[in-house]
Amino acid sequence: MINNAGLVAVLAYDGLCTFEFGIAVELFGLPRPEFDFPWYQHRIVSVDASPVQVSEGIQILSRFGVESLSEAQTIIIPGWRNRDERPPQALLDALCDAVQRGARLLSICSGVFVIAAAGLLNGRRATTHWRYTDELAARYPDITVDPNVLYVDSGQIITSAGSAAGIDACLHLISRDYGTHIANIVARRLVMAPQRSGGQAQFIPSPVAQKPRDEIAPVLEWVLQHLDCPLSVSQMAKRALMSERTFLRRFREALGMTPKAWLLQARMNLARELLENNQLPNQQIMARCGFGSMESFRAAFRKSVGISLSTYRKTFGGLSSERPCPVSAFEQ
């Protein structure tokens, strides 16, 4: 595990979205006395003259300006105040310099337009709120815009969809730095569900299903207790007393993803926590997670998490002395 994830700078500017700004401050700026290792350093950086004028008469005071971004290892960009307004050149230059020296950028909602204006997303995949994806793609044709995900992690740059998806993206970044167990502790303290997979669909307006969770939840809880077994959609549908077709439809309505994708996510969550516990060999973890071969387990883990089993264990192993209780199916 890294000893210090470095300085996180959260941008503040006139017309700021306070909810998205608050997400970043809560997740990266709140003291963490429950941890016995260094947490993030935190700084609010004012893009406009301080105090920043926020809606409803709220003001934000900061003694740090854009020039201080040169010290940040991570820069959080809340929703931009006006998508038709080009951000200040000093900010764009600072973001380019930050990426050049290896710093990370994370945008929430329309904050992606700031990164795009700096030219830093050309040739990359990105996302934003579903209301703005067409606009982003039209304005910046060199960006591969994915409208169907909560966030996109391209390494140095993470872009997320609507405000709530910003929580998932920030928890994902914490998970990258400190591991899944720590990210879940942070989520639990803030009374948030554990971070959702970035590949999960955005929730766009659609007819509301009638009691989908009442029908699906018992099946999900049962699956979480049987991740070491081969499981199929057919088995899940039978347990829900539904046809496969009906089950697939109800599942998507309830969770915004397919049963297969959710099952893989659940297996990977378990694998990460067991690796962090650092007490079981990979072969036993493979069996506990329901994989029939080490080759398929390694491939699935690398594709899902982005690094190898050995690298993940080396980085995050020993993070927790005991494995936490399985999370609720509602929180997957």
CA distance linking residue 148 with residue 206, whole number of Å: 14
Q: What is the pLDDT of residues 117-171, one digit of tens each?
A: 999 999 999 999 989 999 999 999 999 999 888 899 988 999 999 878 899 899 9
Ramachandran region of residue 205, left (φ > 0), alpha (ψ -120 to 50) or beta?
beta
What is residue 135's predicted lDDT score, i.e. its pLDDT?
96
The pLDDT of residue 329 is 35
52 closest CA partner among 72, 33, 78:
78
Distance (Å, whole) CA 327 – CA 265: 13
Better-scored residue on pLDDT, 107 or 182: 107
pLDDT of residue 66: 95
Q: Is the pLDDT of residue 86 over 50?
A: yes
Task: Note the pLDDT tens digit of each residue in 235-275.
Answer: 999 999 999 999 999 888 877 788 998 899 899 989 988 98
Q: Which of 184-198, 200-214, 250-264 has the lowest mean pLDDT?
A: 200-214
Could you tell me where the DSSP H helices lie in the chain? 18-24, 89-100, 112-117, 133-139, 163-178, 180-189, 212-224, 233-239, 244-255, 259-277, 282-288, 294-305, 309-316
Rank 99-103, 178-182, 184-188 by mean pLDDT and report only the highest.
99-103
Task: Give 10-32 pLDDT, tens digit per residue.
Answer: 999 998 888 899 999 999 998 88
Query: Strand 59-60 relative to strand 52-53: parallel, antiparallel, unpaired?
Result: antiparallel
* Sequence ranges of the domains in the chain: 7-189, 210-332
In the predicted structure, residue 45 carries a pLDDT above the cut 80? yes
For residue 232, the model assigns a pLDDT of: 93
Hey, is 105 helix, strand or coil?
strand
Amino acid at 100: Q
C-alpha to C-alpha distance for 46 and 210, rounded to whole angstroms: 46
Spatial CA neighbour of 270 closest among 229, 232, 216, 240: 229
Q: Counting Cβ atoms within 10 Å, is residue 228 exposed (0-12), middle (13-18) or buried (19+)?
A: middle
CA distance 283 to 298: 10
What is the per-residue pLDDT for 8? Answer: 97
Architecture of domain 210-332: Orthogonal Bundle (1.10)
Q: What percent of the chain has pLDDT over 90?
A: 52
The rounded distance, in Å, linking the Cα atoms of 262 and 197 is 9
Paired with 42 in beta bridges are 8
Query: What is the reported pTM?
Result: 0.68
Return the minimum-mean-pLDDT range out of 68-82, 221-235, 253-267, 316-330: 316-330
pLDDT in tens, 271-328: 988 988 878 899 999 999 999 999 999 999 988 877 888 888 887 776 544 333 333 3
Q: What is the mean pLDDT of residues 67-89?
A: 94
* 28 C-beta neighbours (distance < 10 Å), count: 24
Write out the DSSP string of 121-159. TTTSEE---TTTHHHHHHH-TTSEE-TT-SEEE-SSEEE
**Which CATH superfamily groups domain 7-189?**
Class I glutamine amidotransferase (GATase) domain (3.40.50.880)
Q: How many residues does the chain have?
A: 332
pLDDT at 209 over 60: no
Average pLDDT, the chain: 84
Banded model confidence at residue 3, pLDDT cuts 50, 70, 90: very low
pLDDT, greater one: 202 or 180: 180
- Chain centre distance of CA 13: 24
pLDDT at 298: 94
